[in-house]
Structure 1
Amino acid sequence: YYLMFDEQGDQLLAMTDPIAERVRKIGGLTLRSISQISKMQRIEDNNAEYVEPLDMLAELCQDNQLLAAELRKAHVVCDENNDISTASLIENWIDETERRTWFLFEACRRAETSGH
Protein backbone atom coordinates (compact mmCIF):
# COMPACT_ATOMS: atom_id res chain seq x y z
CA TYR A 1 0.00 0.00 0.00
CA TYR A 2 2.85 2.35 0.79
CA LEU A 3 4.11 2.29 -2.80
CA MET A 4 0.60 2.82 -4.14
CA PHE A 5 0.04 5.78 -1.79
CA ASP A 6 3.41 7.24 -2.74
CA GLU A 7 2.61 7.00 -6.45
CA GLN A 8 -0.85 8.47 -5.96
CA GLY A 9 0.50 11.33 -3.85
CA ASP A 10 3.05 12.12 -6.54
CA GLN A 11 0.26 12.26 -9.14
CA LEU A 12 -1.77 14.69 -7.06
CA LEU A 13 1.22 16.89 -6.31
CA ALA A 14 2.15 16.92 -10.00
CA MET A 15 -1.23 18.52 -10.78
CA THR A 16 -0.58 21.66 -8.72
CA ASP A 17 1.86 23.51 -11.00
CA PRO A 18 -0.08 22.94 -14.23
CA ILE A 19 -3.30 24.06 -12.51
CA ALA A 20 -1.67 27.24 -11.23
CA GLU A 21 -0.07 27.95 -14.61
CA ARG A 22 -3.39 27.54 -16.44
CA VAL A 23 -5.19 29.79 -13.96
CA ARG A 24 -2.58 32.51 -14.46
CA LYS A 25 -2.49 32.10 -18.26
CA ILE A 26 -6.22 32.74 -18.51
CA GLY A 27 -6.06 35.73 -16.17
CA GLY A 28 -7.23 34.19 -12.92
CA LEU A 29 -5.85 34.39 -9.41
CA THR A 30 -4.20 31.43 -7.73
CA LEU A 31 -4.57 30.35 -4.13
CA ARG A 32 -2.50 32.48 -1.80
CA SER A 33 -2.56 30.85 1.63
CA ILE A 34 -3.27 27.73 3.63
CA SER A 35 -6.28 29.46 5.23
CA GLN A 36 -7.70 30.20 1.77
CA ILE A 37 -7.26 26.55 0.82
CA SER A 38 -9.05 25.42 3.99
CA LYS A 39 -11.98 27.73 3.22
CA MET A 40 -12.32 26.43 -0.33
CA GLN A 41 -11.58 22.73 0.06
CA ARG A 42 -14.30 20.26 -0.82
CA ILE A 43 -12.67 17.10 0.53
CA GLU A 44 -12.77 17.03 4.30
CA ASP A 45 -9.68 16.43 6.40
CA ASN A 46 -9.54 13.36 8.60
CA ASN A 47 -7.80 14.34 11.82
CA ALA A 48 -8.40 11.08 13.64
CA GLU A 49 -5.45 9.81 15.67
CA TYR A 50 -5.83 6.38 14.06
CA VAL A 51 -7.68 5.09 11.02
CA GLU A 52 -8.08 1.39 10.29
CA PRO A 53 -6.27 0.48 7.06
CA LEU A 54 -9.41 -0.70 5.26
CA ASP A 55 -11.24 2.47 6.34
CA MET A 56 -8.34 4.55 5.02
CA LEU A 57 -8.52 2.82 1.64
CA ALA A 58 -12.29 3.32 1.47
CA GLU A 59 -12.00 6.99 2.44
CA LEU A 60 -9.32 7.61 -0.18
CA CYS A 61 -11.48 5.84 -2.77
CA GLN A 62 -14.41 8.13 -1.93
CA ASP A 63 -12.15 11.21 -1.98
CA ASN A 64 -10.96 10.28 -5.47
CA GLN A 65 -14.55 9.76 -6.62
CA LEU A 66 -15.36 13.26 -5.37
CA LEU A 67 -12.27 14.66 -7.11
CA ALA A 68 -13.31 13.05 -10.40
CA ALA A 69 -16.78 14.60 -10.07
CA GLU A 70 -15.29 18.04 -9.40
CA LEU A 71 -12.93 17.66 -12.37
CA ARG A 72 -15.90 16.80 -14.60
CA LYS A 73 -17.67 19.98 -13.44
CA ALA A 74 -14.55 21.98 -14.27
CA HIS A 75 -14.43 20.34 -17.70
CA VAL A 76 -17.97 21.55 -18.40
CA VAL A 77 -16.85 25.11 -17.59
CA CYS A 78 -13.91 24.67 -19.98
CA ASP A 79 -16.24 23.46 -22.72
CA GLU A 80 -18.60 26.38 -22.15
CA ASN A 81 -15.67 28.79 -22.51
CA ASN A 82 -13.90 27.01 -25.38
CA ASP A 83 -10.82 26.46 -23.17
CA ILE A 84 -9.38 23.47 -24.98
CA SER A 85 -5.99 23.56 -23.25
CA THR A 86 -7.38 23.35 -19.73
CA ALA A 87 -9.93 20.74 -20.81
CA SER A 88 -7.10 18.60 -22.15
CA LEU A 89 -5.25 18.74 -18.82
CA ILE A 90 -8.45 17.93 -16.95
CA GLU A 91 -9.13 14.90 -19.16
CA ASN A 92 -5.75 13.44 -18.21
CA TRP A 93 -6.39 14.17 -14.53
CA ILE A 94 -9.80 12.50 -14.69
CA ASP A 95 -8.17 9.40 -16.18
CA GLU A 96 -5.51 9.36 -13.43
CA THR A 97 -8.17 9.89 -10.76
CA GLU A 98 -10.33 7.07 -12.12
CA ARG A 99 -7.27 4.81 -12.11
CA ARG A 100 -6.55 5.68 -8.47
CA THR A 101 -10.20 5.05 -7.60
CA TRP A 102 -10.10 1.67 -9.30
CA PHE A 103 -6.88 0.63 -7.52
CA LEU A 104 -8.27 1.72 -4.14
CA PHE A 105 -11.58 -0.04 -4.77
CA GLU A 106 -9.79 -3.25 -5.69
CA ALA A 107 -7.49 -2.95 -2.67
CA CYS A 108 -10.55 -2.60 -0.40
CA ARG A 109 -12.23 -5.58 -2.04
CA ARG A 110 -9.14 -7.77 -1.73
CA ALA A 111 -8.66 -6.76 1.90
CA GLU A 112 -12.29 -7.58 2.71
CA THR A 113 -12.16 -11.00 1.03
CA SER A 114 -8.84 -11.92 2.61
CA GLY A 115 -10.02 -11.00 6.10
CA HIS A 116 -7.57 -8.09 6.58
Structure 2
Amino acid sequence: MGDNTKKALVDGLNGLLADHLALYLKTKNFHWHVKGREFRDLHLLFDEQATEIFGNVDIIAERVRKNGADTLTSIGSVAAKTKVADEDDSNLGAMQMVEQLRDDNATLVKSLKAVKELAGEAGDNATDGLIDDWTDQAEERVWFLSSILA
Protein backbone atom coordinates (compact mmCIF):
# COMPACT_ATOMS: atom_id res chain seq x y z
CA MET A 1 0.00 0.00 0.00
CA GLY A 2 1.47 3.32 -1.05
CA ASP A 3 1.29 6.54 0.90
CA ASN A 4 -0.92 8.10 -1.76
CA THR A 5 -3.59 5.40 -1.48
CA LYS A 6 -3.68 5.78 2.31
CA LYS A 7 -3.80 9.58 2.04
CA ALA A 8 -6.67 9.34 -0.45
CA LEU A 9 -8.54 6.97 1.87
CA VAL A 10 -8.05 9.23 4.89
CA ASP A 11 -9.19 12.24 2.88
CA GLY A 12 -12.26 10.31 1.77
CA LEU A 13 -13.00 9.19 5.33
CA ASN A 14 -12.71 12.75 6.60
CA GLY A 15 -15.13 13.78 3.84
CA LEU A 16 -17.56 11.10 5.05
CA LEU A 17 -17.10 12.33 8.60
CA ALA A 18 -17.91 15.89 7.54
CA ASP A 19 -20.94 14.74 5.55
CA HIS A 20 -22.27 12.69 8.45
CA LEU A 21 -21.87 15.55 10.91
CA ALA A 22 -23.46 18.08 8.55
CA LEU A 23 -26.29 15.70 7.61
CA TYR A 24 -26.90 14.92 11.27
CA LEU A 25 -27.27 18.60 12.10
CA LYS A 26 -29.47 19.28 9.06
CA THR A 27 -31.71 16.33 9.88
CA LYS A 28 -32.03 17.48 13.51
CA ASN A 29 -32.77 21.02 12.28
CA PHE A 30 -35.65 19.67 10.20
CA HIS A 31 -36.78 17.49 13.13
CA TRP A 32 -37.00 20.62 15.28
CA HIS A 33 -38.70 22.82 12.66
CA VAL A 34 -41.06 20.59 10.67
CA LYS A 35 -44.67 21.79 10.66
CA GLY A 36 -47.97 20.78 9.12
CA ARG A 37 -50.18 17.73 8.85
CA GLU A 38 -47.15 15.45 8.51
CA PHE A 39 -45.56 16.86 11.67
CA ARG A 40 -45.72 13.81 13.90
CA ASP A 41 -44.59 11.26 11.32
CA LEU A 42 -41.78 13.42 9.95
CA HIS A 43 -40.70 14.64 13.39
CA LEU A 44 -40.22 11.01 14.46
CA LEU A 45 -38.67 9.90 11.15
CA PHE A 46 -36.15 12.74 11.13
CA ASP A 47 -35.17 11.94 14.71
CA GLU A 48 -34.70 8.24 13.87
CA GLN A 49 -32.59 9.11 10.85
CA ALA A 50 -30.49 11.66 12.76
CA THR A 51 -29.75 9.09 15.45
CA GLU A 52 -28.67 6.55 12.84
CA ILE A 53 -26.43 9.07 11.07
CA PHE A 54 -24.80 10.20 14.32
CA GLY A 55 -24.19 6.58 15.23
CA ASN A 56 -21.62 6.34 12.44
CA VAL A 57 -19.66 9.48 13.34
CA ASP A 58 -17.36 7.99 15.97
CA ILE A 59 -16.76 4.84 13.93
CA ILE A 60 -15.69 6.90 10.91
CA ALA A 61 -13.41 9.10 13.02
CA GLU A 62 -11.81 6.04 14.58
CA ARG A 63 -11.13 4.57 11.13
CA VAL A 64 -9.21 7.77 10.31
CA ARG A 65 -7.20 7.44 13.53
CA LYS A 66 -6.56 3.73 12.95
CA ASN A 67 -5.11 4.74 9.60
CA GLY A 68 -2.62 6.95 11.43
CA ALA A 69 -4.14 10.31 10.53
CA ASP A 70 -5.97 13.17 12.19
CA THR A 71 -9.72 13.69 12.00
CA LEU A 72 -11.60 16.92 11.50
CA THR A 73 -11.12 19.28 14.42
CA SER A 74 -13.73 22.03 14.19
CA ILE A 75 -16.97 23.26 12.68
CA GLY A 76 -14.83 25.07 10.10
CA SER A 77 -13.09 21.85 9.08
CA VAL A 78 -16.47 20.14 8.72
CA ALA A 79 -17.80 23.01 6.60
CA ALA A 80 -14.73 22.87 4.37
CA LYS A 81 -15.08 19.13 3.67
CA THR A 82 -18.83 18.48 3.49
CA LYS A 83 -20.96 18.11 0.39
CA VAL A 84 -24.15 18.72 2.43
CA ALA A 85 -25.49 22.21 1.78
CA ASP A 86 -26.44 24.36 4.75
CA GLU A 87 -30.09 25.15 5.24
CA ASP A 88 -30.85 28.04 7.59
CA ASP A 89 -34.50 28.54 6.62
CA SER A 90 -36.58 27.33 9.56
CA ASN A 91 -39.81 27.86 7.58
CA LEU A 92 -39.31 25.33 4.78
CA GLY A 93 -42.30 23.22 3.90
CA ALA A 94 -42.26 19.65 5.12
CA MET A 95 -41.88 18.21 1.61
CA GLN A 96 -39.01 20.61 0.85
CA MET A 97 -37.26 19.19 3.91
CA VAL A 98 -37.91 15.65 2.73
CA GLU A 99 -36.56 16.48 -0.75
CA GLN A 100 -33.38 18.02 0.62
CA LEU A 101 -32.70 15.10 2.93
CA ARG A 102 -33.40 12.60 0.14
CA ASP A 103 -30.94 14.39 -2.14
CA ASP A 104 -28.31 14.77 0.59
CA ASN A 105 -28.54 11.08 1.46
CA ALA A 106 -28.32 10.13 -2.24
CA THR A 107 -25.14 12.22 -2.51
CA LEU A 108 -23.82 10.46 0.59
CA VAL A 109 -24.43 7.08 -1.06
CA LYS A 110 -22.23 8.16 -4.00
CA SER A 111 -19.50 9.33 -1.62
CA LEU A 112 -19.66 6.09 0.34
CA LYS A 113 -19.23 4.04 -2.82
CA ALA A 114 -16.25 6.16 -3.86
CA VAL A 115 -14.59 5.72 -0.45
CA LYS A 116 -15.24 1.98 -0.60
CA GLU A 117 -13.12 1.89 -3.76
CA LEU A 118 -10.40 3.86 -1.97
CA ALA A 119 -10.49 1.42 0.94
CA GLY A 120 -10.05 -1.47 -1.48
CA GLU A 121 -7.11 0.25 -3.17
CA ALA A 122 -5.52 0.92 0.24
CA GLY A 123 -6.09 -2.67 1.38
CA ASP A 124 -8.21 -1.50 4.34
CA ASN A 125 -10.60 -4.44 4.66
CA ALA A 126 -12.14 -3.16 7.90
CA THR A 127 -13.20 0.14 6.36
CA ASP A 128 -14.33 -1.63 3.19
CA GLY A 129 -16.67 -3.86 5.22
CA LEU A 130 -18.05 -1.06 7.39
CA ILE A 131 -18.92 1.02 4.35
CA ASP A 132 -21.34 -1.68 3.20
CA ASP A 133 -23.43 -1.13 6.33
CA TRP A 134 -23.25 2.66 6.07
CA THR A 135 -24.29 2.49 2.42
CA ASP A 136 -27.24 0.24 3.23
CA GLN A 137 -28.37 2.69 5.91
CA ALA A 138 -28.12 5.69 3.58
CA GLU A 139 -29.90 3.84 0.76
CA GLU A 140 -32.72 2.97 3.15
CA ARG A 141 -33.04 6.64 4.14
CA VAL A 142 -33.23 7.59 0.45
CA TRP A 143 -35.90 4.93 -0.10
CA PHE A 144 -38.00 6.10 2.86
CA LEU A 145 -37.74 9.77 1.91
CA SER A 146 -38.44 9.04 -1.77
CA SER A 147 -41.51 7.00 -0.81
CA ILE A 148 -42.91 9.96 1.11
CA LEU A 149 -42.61 12.08 -2.03
CA ALA A 150 -44.19 9.49 -4.35
TM-score normalised per structure 1: 0.91
Unaligned 5+ runs, structure 2:
1-41
Q: Percent identity?
A: 34
Matching residue of 2:63 = 22
Q: Deviations over 1:42-87 (max 9, x none)?
A: 1111112411111110111000000000011100100111111001
Matching residue of 2:76 = 35
Aligned-partner residue type, residue 52 of structure 1: G
Q: Distance in 2 between matches of 1:55 and 1:96?
A: 21
Q: Distance in 1 between matches of 2:80 and 2:53?
A: 19
1:76 to 117, 122, 133: 117
Equivalent residue of 2:88, what SS? coil
Higher-RCO chain (CA-CA 8 Å, sequence separation at least 6): 2
Q: Aligned Cα RMSD in Å?
A: 0.8
Q: Is 2:103 the partner of 1:62?
A: yes
Q: Distance in 1 between matches of 2:52 and 2:96?
A: 22
Q: Is 2:144 the partner of 1:103?
A: yes
Matching residue of 1:112 = none
TM-score normalised per structure 2: 0.71
Q: Deviations over 1:17-40 (max 9, x none)?
A: 100111101111101111111111
**How many residue pairs were aligned?**
109
Unaligned 5+ runs, structure 1:
110-116
1:9 to 43, 47, 50: 50
Q: Distance in 1 between matches of 2:59 and 2:112?
A: 14
Displacement after TM superposition at 1:6 (Å):
0.9
